[in-house]
Structure 1
Amino acid sequence: MTQEIKESELLKALEIPGKPLVVFLHTPLCGTCKVAHRMLEIAGHLLPEDLVIHEANVNMLPEIVGSYRISSVPALLVAQADRLTPPEVHYAMSSVERVLEYIRRGITP
């Protein structure tokens, strides 16, 4: 399952090392986002139980959109636990396998 995250919380989480960070970026009226969200829900059952996947409406994230140059939705922002490298932003969510690949690559040390 996903948890909604606000921009202030996301900015703070991106600065502090700790757990891997996965954020599904969407807009409310995006049909493709709804399909990608469903794939993410399925993928979530195949990921570690302690991994929290967040979601956020990009219309409410002006600073994040500018800083990470979010160019379209749906998008998946994945930050490694150590925060030593910038988060990766993935746009092509064509399958559950692809979504799993993006997340596993980002959360594995």
Structure 2
Amino acid sequence: MYAAQKKGADFTVFFFTPMCGNCQMASRLVDMTQNVDNIHTTIAKVDLNYVPEIAQTLEITSVPALVKFKEGNPVDVSYRLHDVTAIFEFLYSE
């Protein structure tokens, strides 16, 4: 994630914690979006237990969360990861 930020890349990060049941379900939904042939969005998965400072810096208030980065900067966050459609809408929103 840090390398992509330094390069000014566009990417999305899925933040989770392993003991979160909703995170496990959302992780499977994120995986489904990545299996669609025409998806060209890079999504990294990060366990917030290992990087709590990122949660504070990005002001992540709950998990699961998707944070969209444009040119290496965070531009949007979504906590609505209840279905694949909501994830697609977030990934492709401007």
Superposition TM-score tier, normalisation by shorter sequence:
0.7 to 0.9
| Count of aligned pairs between the two proteins | 94
TM-score, structure 2 normalization? 0.84
Question: Are 2:62 and 1:64 equivalent residues in the alignment?
Answer: no
Q: Which residue number in structure 2 is paired with residue 99 of structure 1?
A: 87
Please tell me the root mean square deviation across aligned C-alpha atoms, in Å: 2.0
* Of 19, 23, 40, the match for 2:30: 40
User: Could you report, residue by residue, the CA deviation over 1:33-78 in whole angstroms, capped at 9, with x for unpaired residues?
Assistant: 0110111111112364553321010111122111111111000011
SS of corresponding position for 1:86? strand
Q: 1:89 to 1:11 in 2, by over 3 A?
A: same
Question: Which runs of no fewer than 5 residues in structure 2 stay unpaired?
Answer: none
C-alpha contact (below 8 Å) 1:11/1:64 kept by paired residues: no
Structural mapping, 1:1-109, within 5 Å: 10-18=1-9, 20-46=10-36, 48=38, 50-80=40-70, 82-83=71-72, 86-105=74-93
Question: Which runs of no fewer than 5 residues in structure 1 stay unpaired?
Answer: 1-9
TM-score, structure 1 normalization? 0.73
Aligned equivalents of 2:77, 2:39: Cα separation in 1? 22
Aligned equivalents of 2:6, 2:38: Cα separation in 1? 23
Q: 1:33 to 1:47 in 2, by over 3 A?
A: farther
Aligned equivalents of 1:103, 1:49: Cα separation in 2? 10
